[in-house]
Amino acid sequence: MAGVLAGRVALVTGASAGIGVAVAIALAEAGASVAVAARRADRLTALVKKIEAAGGKALAVPGDVTDEKAARGMVADTVKHFGRLDILVNNAGVIQLATVENANIAEWKQVIDLNLMAALYTCTAAIPHMKAHGGGDIVNVSSMASRRTSAMYNSYSTSKHALNAMTDGMRQELGLAGIRVSIVEPGATDTEVAEQMTDPQHQEWMRKHTSKDGAMKPEDVAAAILLVVSLPARTNISELSIRPTIDVGPSR
């Protein structure tokens, strides 16, 4: 495909559903070659076929991004196949019911590992390749929950606050190397995020929240990310918060 991202190579994590799928398709339509990462290999295979059928180039790199070796392998496989890496979109994430007084430590670790540590693994692996080609883009998908703390979803808010801090630190660290680093914070978006929750009551609440009238679609978030990586190299949108126009109820 020809387009504004022609000649560039992207890696998108959490690409088996929702925002990740939409981002991969949007980047491919803009001309990028796209590697897609997630645990569900069958979904990645279907996504690759869809992108290729539309004339794009894609590669499935299945695995668990919370495993540091696997996460680094996703970056290595992308570079091996396409020869470079210009865009990294860390989209993989999870939310669970999580207070502190009655903390489920295993679930706290799951949320922190996926929402924060996985991004650290892929970023540290990707940076040398971006430097070798004079720059690149790292986009970390956060949440409006990073702007407020939730008693019921404390681990999620904590992980996204931390992701924001890490992202801004990287922006300051890597700007001179030509690497733009951005955080994108979506509000309520119609995705499968509720399906990973283990508490039935809160799972149902999250389903209603993300599918409520006016909720954004994954394609809306993908369009915002495409904007971020399409701007002239001298311009860095460091933080981008996007909410539904009809703001009903608490933002995600």
Give per-residue pLDDT as tens, 144-171.
877 888 888 899 999 999 999 999 999 9
CATH number of the domain to which 207 belongs: 3.40.50.720
For residue 213, pLDDT beyond 50 = yes
Q: Residue 249 falls within a domain, yes or no?
A: no
Q: Residue 114 falls within a domain, yes or no?
A: yes
Give per-residue pLDDT as tens, 10-55.
999 999 999 999 999 999 999 999 999 999 999 999 999 999 999 9
Number of domains in the chain: 1
Taking the C-alpha atoms of residue 217 and residue 226, their distance in angstroms, rounded to an integer, is 15
Which residues lie closer than 8 Å to 112 by C-beta, 6 or more apart?
A: 155, 158, 159, 162
**Catalytic hit among 48, 156, 157, 190:** 156
Inter-residue contact 81 to 59 (CB < 8 Å)? yes
Residue 156 is a catalytic residue: yes
Q: Residue 139 falls within a domain, yes or no?
A: yes
- Of 58-72, 110-124, 147-161, 189-203, minimum mean pLDDT range: 189-203
What is the domain extent for residue 32?
9-230
Higher pLDDT, 68 or 187: 68
Closest CA to 249 of 158, 188, 165, 197: 188
Say whether 229 sits in a helix, a strand or coil.
helix
Q: Residue 93 falls within a domain, yes or no?
A: yes
pTM comes to: 0.93
Which pLDDT band holds residue 247 (cuts at 50, 70, 90)?
low
Q: Average pLDDT, whole number, for the chain?
A: 92
For residue 250, pLDDT beyond 80 = no
Side-chain-side CA neighbours of 224 within 13 Å: the count stands at: 25
Which pLDDT band holds residue 203 (cuts at 50, 70, 90)?
confident
Q: Residue 236 falls within a domain, yes or no?
A: no
* DSSP state letters, 97-116: -B-STT--HHHHHHHHIIII
Q: Residue 207 falls within a domain, yes or no?
A: yes
Q: Residue 106 falls within a domain, yes or no?
A: yes
